[in-house]
Amino acid sequence: MSKIKPSQGAPYARIMGVGGYRPTRVVPNEVILETIDSSDEWIRSRSGIASRHWASEEETVAAMSVEAAGKAIADAGIGPEQIGAVVVSTVSHFKQTPAIATEIAHKVGAGRPAAFDISAGCAGFGYGLTLAKGMIVEGSAEYVLVIGVERLSDLTDLEDRATAFLFGDGAGAVIVGPSNVPAIGPTVWGSEGDKSETIKQTVAWDEFHAERPEKFPAITQEGQAVFRWAVFEMAKVAQQALDAAGIAPEDLDVFIPHQANMRIIDSMVKTLKLPEHVTVARDVETTGNTSAASIPLAMERLLATGQAKSGDTALVIGFGAGLVYAATVVTLP
């Protein structure tokens, strides 16, 4: 018989607060057209993107995260010293070690929480949310700060006609805490490693170090393959998340998919047969694809503009490089 004392966690977990940070510089499509042969009409028709935010030298991964985290902490109504863990999802923090989460935890005044980074691309926020839920229920933390943050402008090839217009920078954060009622549903997540070549970094860091190629490593993707996968396979995953939570499409108030591409979002809405009353996040138009930051940023904007409200039931789904995905149903803070 085990002598280990059982954990004393909360019955359930919920999102208690949300915060976002978008860099001050707004970059319209006209700037992108300076380096690629395309048009504003083509970019809008293919992606729905009109502009994106690019970070300045001072708007580092840590700085943007701290700003977003501060807003989430205030929104949750807790003190930073109550945070027991900090989980940061990013692919654009260029130091392999230490994790940027430790620096962020210190700067927000969280004391000595568990702090670590995860790399799950555009599904990273969903992965972090699931880890946070587990910590709350297991009892290893009372409150968890989950951050999705990217400076993808650092990894964008501005001469690549297929991707130059896609990516933006920003940070989104949430506080996850205890709940007496279910407020974060079961997560449907997974990976399809056989498709890992469809979204990838052009040159590995060790190759870059050894060969010093002319161009800095950038993110590239096979657009059509990714589009087909996202539209057809991710709609199935979204439906599985609804089923796991015991929610029908008509029970939803809000749909917050990863902000990869407007055509993908619209196709998923159609495939899922979401009713007209469901508010759909379309933050991609002015924020671009911010990878792990896109879902919390879109969530923050919907709440700030009144398009969504506290207590609404939302389906969130992220998907990207790996290929990886994560979907769950949550109650908005």
Residues whose CB falls within 8 Å of the CB of residue 130, separated by 6 or more in sequence, listed in order: 187, 189, 326, 328
Look at residue 87 and give its three-state secondary structure.
strand
The rounded distance, in Å, linking the Cα atoms of 248 and 295 is: 21
Nearest residue to 168 via CA among 37, 32, 267: 32
Average pLDDT, the chain: 95
Report pLDDT for 213: 62
> pLDDT-derived band of residue 298, with 50, 70 and 90 as boundaries?
very high
User: pLDDT tens, 194-217?
Assistant: 999 998 888 888 787 776 666 788
Token duo for residue 13: 């977990």
Catalytic residue positions?
Answer: 122, 258, 289
Is the CB of residue 314 less than 8 Å from the CB of residue 256? yes
The rounded distance, in Å, linking the Cα atoms of 292 and 275 is: 27
Report pLDDT for 212: 67
CB neighbours of residue 31 within 10 Å: 15
Q: How many CA atoms lie within 13 A of 147 on its CB side?
A: 39
DSSP class of residue 184?
B
Residue with tokens 């609404």: 312
User: pLDDT tens, 157-181?
Assistant: 999 999 999 999 999 999 999 999 9
* Dihedral angle, C-alpha 304, 306, 309, 310, nearest 10 °: 40
Phi, psi (degrees; rounded to nearest 5) at 305: -90, -5
Q: In b/e form, how buried is each residue of 183-208, taking b as 16+ CB within 10 angstroms?
A: bbbbbbbeeeeebeebbbebeeeeee
Enter the pTM of the model: 0.93
Is the CB of residue 73 less than 8 Å from the CB of residue 145? yes
Look at residue 89 and give its three-state secondary structure.
strand
Q: Is the pLDDT of residue 5 over 80?
A: no
> pLDDT-derived band of residue 2, with 50, 70 and 90 as boundaries?
confident
DSSP class of residue 153?
G
Mean pLDDT along residues 228-253: 95
User: pLDDT tens, 72-95?
Assistant: 999 999 999 999 999 999 999 998
- Tell me what percent of the residues of the chain surpass a pLDDT of 90: 86
Question: What's the one-letter identity of residue 197?
Answer: E
Look at residue 130 and give its three-state secondary structure.
helix
